[in-house]
């Protein structure tokens, strides 16, 4: 019986999982492929981050919604659950990307020393940064797609333009994947993850997910509007409502630039750590 070489079988799996057009034919695809193989028997782990925003939608969007009533959105009244759902979609995209680009990257970098082994292959430091950011983006996209299915099933989609919300959520995932990996490369111990919680929890609570930005005083509105999660929340909420304004391009450009900057920082820092 003829046994195909491991590399050949790996290449075939990679083509099935990640089309070459997505990352080109660079070695970053191998990092994504490695993560797919690692999770194929633990797929249920990928589902855990979806449930937090989903439970928020049920408890706050539906439960508290009976007390809040309807809110004004672009001159029309919408149910509170429909107002909150796009914000929770953005936070779901953030959760998926941020979790993988922080905890998992730190474990591979500091504990398992996976990247030291990876660099013994033709994979370069830049490929590691691109591959891991792409995988974190894909994880966030999985959460986003599942959450959008829930929104549609619950009748919380406000317009046909909501189909673009998935692309917007993927852009949110890219931004947080880059930020997360860039920050993780500077972490020294597990205690440093307290800073991740200190940043992500206030962002989740104050980025206009649950109420309009106008409820804040003027100076705080400026601060909140500069956070990446607010940019994602506002972009997805406008798309869901069918509000195609020039602000959408500004939100998209902000998030894309932030993701690229984080990935560049990660590549540079990884080079200093792994190839001193």
| Beta carbons within 10 angstroms of residue 3's beta carbon | 7
Rg, Å, the chain Cα set: 20
Question: For residue 192, how many C-alpha atoms fall within 13 Å in the half-sphere facing its CB?
Answer: 13
Cα–Cα distance measured from residue 133 to residue 262, given in angstroms and rounded to the nearest whole number: 9
What's the pLDDT score for residue 106? Answer: 94
pLDDT recorded at residue 24: 44
Residue pair 271/125 in contact by the 8 Å Cβ criterion? yes
CA 132, 136, 142, 144 torsion-angle sign: negative
The full set of domain ranges for the chain reads 25-274
Beta carbons of 32 and 23 less than 8 angstroms apart: yes
All residue ranges of the chain with pLDDT < 70 are: 1-26, 42-50, 276
Look up the pTM and report it: 0.85
- Between CA 49 and CA 89, with CA 192 as vertex, the angle to 5 degrees is 25
Identify the DSSP state of 109. Answer: I
Neighbours of 36 (CB within 10 A): 16
Q: How far apart are CA 134 and CA 30, in angstroms?
A: 11
Looking from the CA of 182 toward its CB, the CA atoms found within 13 Å total 15
- pLDDT of 232-268, one tens digit each? 999 999 999 888 889 999 999 999 999 999 999 999 9
pLDDT tens-digit readout, 200-237: 999 999 998 988 888 899 899 999 999 999 999 999 99
CA pair distance 1, 36, nearest whole angstrom? 28
Taking a C-beta distance cutoff of 8 angstroms, is the pair 236, 87 a contact? yes
Q: Are 8 and 17 in contact (CB under 8 A)?
A: no
Neighbours of 35 (CB within 10 A): 21
CA-based nearest residue to 208, from 229, 178, 177: 229
């Amino acid at each position: 019986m003829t046994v195909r070489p491991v590399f050949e079988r790996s290449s075939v799996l990679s083509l099935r999982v990640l089309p070459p057009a997505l990352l080109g034919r660079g070695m970053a695809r191998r990092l994504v492929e490695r993560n797919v193989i690692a999770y194929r028997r633990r797929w249920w782990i990928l589902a855990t981050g979806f449930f937090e925003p989903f439970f928020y939608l049920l408890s706050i969007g539906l439960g508290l919604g009976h007390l809040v009533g309807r809110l004004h959105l672009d001159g029309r009244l919408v149910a509170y659950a429909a107002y909150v759902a796009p914000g929770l979609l953005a936070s779901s995209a953030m959760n998926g990307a941020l979790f993988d680009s922080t905890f998992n990257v730190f474990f591979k970098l500091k504990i398992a020393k996976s990247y030291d082994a990876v660099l013994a292959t033709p994979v370069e430091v830049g490929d590691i940064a691109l591959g891991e950011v792409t995988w974190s983006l894909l994880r966030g996209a999985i959460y986003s797609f599942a959450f959008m299915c829930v929104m549609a099933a619950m009748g919380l989609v406000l317009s046909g333009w909501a189909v673009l919300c998935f692309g917007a959520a993927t852009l949110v995932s890219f931004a947080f994947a880059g930020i997360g990996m860039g920050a993780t490369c500077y972490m020294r111990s597990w205690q440093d993850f307290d800073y991740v919680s200190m940043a992500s929890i206030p962002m989740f609570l104050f980025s206009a997910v649950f109420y309009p930005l106008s409820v804040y005083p003027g100076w705080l509105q400026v601060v909140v509007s500069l956070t990446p999660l607010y940019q994602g929340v506002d972009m997805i909420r406008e798309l869901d409502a069918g509000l195609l304004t020039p602000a959408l391009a500004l939100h998209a450009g902000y998030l894309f630039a932030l993701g690229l900057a984080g990935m560049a920082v990660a590549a540079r820092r990884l080079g200093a750590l792994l190839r001193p």
